[in-house]
């Protein structure tokens, strides 16, 4: 009986935090919408896109982040089934894929700067700087997502109540899948505006 009361108290205290997460996601979505709108306004008057073929590494990072959403889905499903060993495994896989995504993005910047001679500033076509803006701001969000995954893992290892565990997994899933969708949007947007 006491456990049920505590779980209900935990459930009631979590609603405002979930609202804050949705508010953050909405704000982030508006930020990326503003960046892409800024690019359209900037390049639209000049009649050109970024005038560069994106390095293939961005294609690979897209595949990695999609796979990471699948592993996070599997972690959430394991949580609901009380399969905590699988939950830990899939959370660690998601974390590793997130780190891999970050490494691929940084390697993409390396290719842009040192192989293709496209820099954040000083380009003849300033719209090329938007590549760094889009990928850089998204990468900051990915780092935040990795911290959210670590927080979910910490709760699993501490054997917190199932209500808290489910809540942390739900929040992690909402945020990570949002990052996945935003990256696909940005990648397709950049592909469509290569030339």
Sign of CA dihedral 59, 64, 67, 69: negative
Domain map (residue ranges) of the chain = 56-192
At which residue do the structure tokens 């060993």 appear? 85
| Angstrom distance (rounded) from CA 20 to CA 88 | 26
pLDDT tens digits along 107-142? 999 999 888 888 777 655 677 888 899 999 999 999
pTM of the model: 0.87
Pick from 173, 194, 21, 9: nearest CA to 87: 173
Pick from 132, 136, 95, 137: nearest CA to 116: 132
Whats the size of the chain, residue-wise? 195
pLDDT tens digits along 167-187? 899 999 999 999 999 999 999
| Angstrom distance (rounded) from CA 171 to CA 176 | 9
56-192 CATH fold: 1.20.120
């Amino acid at each position: 009986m006491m456990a049920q009361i505590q779980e209900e108290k935990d459930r009631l205290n979590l609603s405002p935090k979930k609202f804050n997460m949705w508010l953050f996601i909405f704000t982030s979505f508006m930020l990326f919408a503003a960046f892409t709108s800024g690019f359209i306004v900037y390049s639209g008057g000049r009649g050109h896109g970024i005038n560069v073929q994106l390095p293939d590494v961005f294609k690979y990072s897209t595949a990695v982040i999609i796979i990471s959403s699948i592993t996070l889905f599997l972690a959430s499903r394991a949580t609901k089934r009380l399969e905590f060993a699988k939950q830990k495994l899939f959370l660690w896989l998601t974390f590793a894929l997130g780190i891999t995504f970050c490494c691929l993005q940084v390697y993409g910047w390396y290719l842009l700067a040192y192989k293709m001679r496209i820099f954040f500033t000083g380009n003849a076509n300033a719209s090329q700087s938007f590549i760094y803006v889009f990928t850089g701001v998204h990468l900051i969000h990915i780092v935040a997502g990795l911290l959210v995954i670590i927080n979910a893992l910490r709760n699993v290892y501490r054997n917190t109540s199932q209500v808290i565990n489910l809540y942390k997994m739900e929040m992690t899933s909402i945020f990570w899948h949002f990052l996945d969708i935003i990256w696909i949007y940005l990648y397709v947007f950049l592909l469509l505006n290569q030339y």
